[in-house]
């Protein structure tokens, strides 16, 4: 316990009390032992609303130590509201070092992106998950979805993909694209773009998923097989961009569209701000600010 | 007909507390045979059907099914995984209300293809071709394959439900009032269709109905139920033309003549 004799209310290290952390760590260990399985846990009220990453924050609070270096990203960016406030939260309640550099972080809490820079062994990626159940929109009953996971009845997941092709001519699911983990559990990778799905496969880093409102934790241990579901005649594909990042010229990365003016001007820039800044610092440059014709598929 | 029954029911009872759902029901069903269960509403027909199709656990009794490998298995001693596998491969269940048996928010093609995908079919083109073929067999135009069942009429929904169940080539169908809520001309077409499919595929079926005309058209044998018990069994034509039990006589004489 930290015993600062200040006049403000005192929190335990990393906000949660030790018993709660113990409970969450148990859930995390179980999740790691059964890759892709959703472990129920007694999610706590956090000083932020549901939907702002209460699940991810609880997971991070349970695994963070004084020596950790924390990076928080929101849609790939280090400087948007969600990222800034969660980073400030842990600076305040855990007094940990923070960074925006992917390579220097030991824990990366993320909302909807996996950094472009490949993660290393020893790093932990913590996802904020809104709806952990991939089968939810097709089967509303929790009792039934649990049974389907237990009995490995995943035909329904393909019904969704079938429906996509029937309606759009291709698999139109672009985010929260269902994956099968280690050949067993079908898992929702949280609303990350499907562009990031291949990065989960055989990742050197530990990936933890926390859903605060739905009270579930799941995990992908390092070097685990993660396969995106598809059809033989409609194989899984990631989004492609027909032009590089306008700022750093990076290709083969996930781009965000930025509207420049009222006349239809727009540009496409890296969604991962750290990656983009690093490349610019290394002297790479793109056609800055030029209105692009690029299309997000 | 083979020497061994497909489906054996022995002393099946279901009690809801002190009330009787159905009591002491026993019968055999042979491959390719259609059995009608008739009776007035509240006579325990649907309870019996649910007990037989593993949707409801009976209070006592034994229900066994002869698997494709020839062994007879007690349904309630199987694991849940085996039961569910059986239900979506070797069996079909047609609900009275098609909305209970269909996924109303996905297309007709996906409805028919669901069982195939559950069995591991992973080729979109083949699944769609099979689904279109089955829609044709239940007289739904092929260009409706991408429409949701919400856009279908009651009769089409019921035919779609039948196609969805038959796509895996089951050996046994359970039907709960398959023609309930349909007007008579649609009923007649549906019955024609069912009769043809049952014959072509050599299906065995247990049809619950309160409509004696449906029983007459579809079934070989029938069971008449009253207050949860069997009052009469026999060949359909015999029971309808020469009813023995007073209740069956009442039932047969209650049919409206046009």
Measured between beta carbons, which residues in chain A are less than 8 angstroms from residue B89? none
pLDDT number for residue B198:
86
What percent of chain A is modeled with pLDDT above 70?
94
What phi and psi, each to the nearest 5 degrees, are found at residue A91?
Answer: -65, -35
Distance CA A254, CA A174 (A): 12
Tens digit of each residue's pLDDT (9 = 90 or more) over A210-246: 999 999 999 999 999 999 999 999 999 999 998 899 9
Query: End-to-end CA distance of chain A, in Å?
Result: 51
User: A162 and B80: CB-CB below 8 Å?
Assistant: no
> Per-residue confidence at A117, pLDDT binned at 50, 70, 90?
very high
The 10s digit of each residue's pLDDT in A36-93 is 999 999 999 999 999 899 999 999 999 999 999 999 999 999 999 999 999 999 999 9
A250 catalytic? Reply is no
Nearest residue in chain B measured CA to CA from A155 = B118
Kindly state which CATH superfamily the domain B7-90+170-256 is placed in: P-loop containing nucleotide triphosphate hydrolases (3.40.50.300)
Average pLDDT over residues B76-96: 92
On the question of pLDDT at B217 being above 50, the answer is yes
Cα-based distances in Å from B147 to A167, B73, B135 = 9, 40, 12
Altogether, the residues listed in chain B come to a count of 258
* Per-residue pLDDT at B258: 66
In this complex, is the C-beta atom of A138 within 8 Å of any C-beta atom belonging to chain B?
yes
A155 touches chain B (CB under 8 A): yes
In Å, what is the CA distance from A165 to each residue of A2, A68, A158, A170, A237?
A: 56, 45, 11, 4, 13
B contact test, residue of A231, A235, A236 with most B CBs within 10 A: A231
What tens digit of pLDDT does each residue of A132-165 get?
A: 999 988 889 999 999 999 999 999 999 999 999 9
Identify the band that residue B2 occupies on the pLDDT scale cut at 50, 70 and 90.
low
Show the CA angle centred on residue A276, arms to residues A81 and A86, nearest 5°. 25
Q: How confident is the model at residue B106 (pLDDT cuts 50, 70, 90)?
A: very high
Kindly state the percentage of chain B with pLDDT values over 90: 74
Give CA separation, B176 vs A16, A260, B71, B211, in Å: 55, 62, 27, 11
- Is the pLDDT confidence value at B210 over 50? yes
Set A36, A55, A76, A210: catalytic member: A36
Residue A163 touches partner B, C-beta closer than 8 Å: yes
Token digits of residue A240:
């492609």
B109/A162 touch (CB, cutoff 8 Å), yes or no: yes
Q: Is the pLDDT reported for residue B233 higher than 90? A: yes
How many percent of chain B have pLDDT more than 70? 99
Active site residue A55: no
As a whole number, the mean pLDDT across chain A is 91
Q: What is the mean pLDDT of chain B?
A: 91
Q: What's the confidence (pLDDT) of residue A296? A: 41
The candidate with the shortest Cα–Cα distance to A248, out of A210, A284, A275, is: A284
Beta B34-38 vs B221-226: how paired, if at all? parallel
Q: Which residues of chain B approach chain A closer than 8 Å at the C-beta?
A: 80-81, 84, 103, 106-107, 109-110, 113-115, 117-119, 122-125, 127-128, 145-146
Determine the Cα–Cα distance for residues B116 and B134; give it in Å rounded to an integer.
12
A6 pLDDT band, cuts 50/70/90, is low
Residue B184 has pLDDT above 80, yes or no: yes
Whether A286 sits among the annotated catalytic residues: the reply is: no
- Report the alpha-carbon distance of residue A208 to residue A203 in Å, rounded: 12
So what's the pLDDT on residue B34? 94
- Provide φ and ψ at B11, rounded to 5°: 50, 45
* Cβ-defined contact of A166 to B117 (cutoff 8 Å): no
Residue A5 has pLDDT above 60, yes or no: no
| Residue A245: active-site member | yes
DSSP string, chain A: ------SSPP-BTTBS-HHHHHHHHHHHHHHHHSTT--EE--PPP-SS-TTSSHHHHHHHHHH--TT-EEEEEETTBSSSHHHHHHHHHHHHHH--EE-S-GGG-SEEEEES---SSPP-TT-EEEEE-S---TTTTT---HHHHHHHHHTT--HHHHHHHHHHHHHHSS----BS--EEETTTEEE---S-BGGGHHHHTT-SSEEEEEETTTTEEEEE-SS--EEE--BTTB-------SS--TTT---SS-EEEEE-STTS-EEEEES-HHHHHHHHHTT----TTPPP-----
Q: What is the pLDDT of residue B162?
A: 92
A26-37 tens-digit pLDDT: 999 999 999 999
- Domain boundaries of chain B, sorted by first residue: 7-90+170-256
- The residue annotated as part of the active site, out of A245, A250, A286, A292, is A245
Which of A53, A210, A250, A276 is catalytic? The answer is A276
With a cut of 60, say whether residue A8 has pLDDT above it.
Answer: no
Q: What is the pLDDT of residue A201?
A: 96
A155 CA: distance to closest CA in chain B (Å): 4
Which two tokens mark A132?
A: 């952990």
Task: State residue A295's pLDDT score.
Answer: 40
Decide if B146 and A166 are in contact by the 8 Å CB cutoff.
yes
pLDDT at res. A292: 42
Cβ contacts of A154 on chain B, cutoff 8 Å:
118
CB–CB contacts below 8 A, A to B: 57
> pTM for the whole thing?
0.86
Look at strands B229-235 and B221-226 and give their pairing.
antiparallel
Residue A114 pLDDT > 80: yes
- What does the alpha-carbon distance between residue A149 and residue A154 come to, in Å, rounded to a whole number? 7
- Chain B partners of A156 at a C-beta cutoff of 8 Å? 114, 117-118
The pLDDT of residue A291: 43
Q: Is A156 on the interface with B (CB under 8 A)?
A: yes
Of B81, B119, B127, the CB nearest to A162: B127
Q: Is A56 a catalytic residue?
A: no
Nearest to A205 by CA among A187, A220, A216: A220
| Cα B247 to Cα B224: distance, rounded to the nearest angstrom | 9
């Amino acid at each position: 316990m930290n015993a600062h004799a200040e006049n403000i209310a005192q929190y335990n290290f990393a906000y949660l009390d030790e018993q709660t952390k113990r409970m969450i760590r148990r859930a995390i260990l179980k999740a790691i032992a059964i890759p892709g399985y959703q472990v129920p846990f007694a999610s706590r009220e956090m000083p932020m609303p549901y939907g702002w990453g209460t699940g991810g924050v609880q997971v991070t609070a349970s695994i963070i130590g004084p020596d950790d270096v924390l990076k928080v990203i929101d849609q790939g960016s280090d400087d948007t509201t969600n990222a800034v406030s969660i980073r400030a939260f842990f600076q305040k309640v855990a007094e940990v070092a923070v960074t925006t550099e992917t390579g220097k972080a030991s824990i990366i809490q993320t909302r909807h992106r996996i950094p472009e820079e490949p993660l290393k062994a020893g790093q932990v990626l913590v996802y904020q998950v809104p709806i952990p159940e991939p089968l939810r929109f097709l089967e509303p009953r929790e009792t039934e979805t649990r049974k389907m996971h237990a009995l490995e009845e995943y035909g329904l997941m393909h019904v969704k993909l079938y429906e996509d092709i029937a309606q759009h001519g291709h698999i139109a699911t672009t985010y929260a694209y269902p994956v099968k983990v280690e050949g067993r559990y079908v898992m929702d990778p949280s609303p990350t773009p499907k562009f990031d799905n291949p990065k989960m496969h055989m990742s050197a880093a530990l990936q933890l998923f926390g859903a605060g409102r739905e009270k579930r934790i799941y995990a992908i241990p390092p070097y685990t097989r993660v396969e995106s579901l598809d059809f033989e005649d409609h194989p899984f594909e990631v989004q492609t961009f027909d032009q590089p990042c306008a700022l750093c010229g990076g290709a083969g990365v996930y781009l965000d569209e930025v509207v420049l003016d009222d006349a239809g001007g727009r540009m496409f820039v890296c969604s991962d701000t750290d990656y983009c800044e690093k490349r610019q610092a290394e002297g790479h440059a793109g056609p800055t600010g030029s209105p692009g014709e690029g299309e997000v598929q | 007909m083979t020497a061994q029954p497909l489906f054996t029911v022995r002393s099946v009872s279901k009690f809801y507390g002190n009330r009787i759902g159905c009591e002491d029901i026993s019968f055999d069903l042979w491959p390719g045979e259609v059995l009608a269960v008739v009776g007035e509403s509240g006579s325990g027909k649907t309870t019996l059907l649910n007990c037989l199709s593993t949707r409801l656990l009976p209070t006592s009794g034994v229900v066994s099914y002869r698997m494709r490998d020839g062994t007879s298995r007690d349904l309630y001693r199987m694991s849940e995984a085996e039961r569910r596998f059986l239900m979506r491969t070797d069996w079909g269940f047609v609900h009275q209300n098609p909305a209970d048996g269909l996924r109303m928010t996905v297309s007709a093609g996906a409805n028919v293809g669901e069982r195939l995908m559950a069995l591991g079919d992973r080729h979109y083109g083949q699944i769609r071709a099979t689904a279109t073929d089955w829609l044709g067999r239940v007289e739904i135009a092929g260009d409706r394959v991408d429409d949701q069942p919400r856009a279908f009429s009651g009769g089409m929904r019921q035919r779609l439900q039948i196609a969805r169940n038959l796509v895996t080539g089951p050996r046994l169908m359970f039907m709960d009032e398959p023609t309930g809520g349909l007007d008579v001309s649609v009923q007649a077409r549906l019955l024609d269709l069912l009769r043809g499919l049952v014959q072509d595929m050599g299906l065995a079926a247990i049809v619950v109905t309160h409509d004696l005309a449906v029983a007459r058209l579809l079934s070989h044998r029938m069971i008449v139920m009253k207050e949860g018990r069997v009052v009469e069994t026999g060949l359909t034509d015999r029971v309808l033309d020469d009813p023995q039990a007073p209740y069956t006589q009442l039932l047969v004489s209650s049919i409206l003549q046009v």
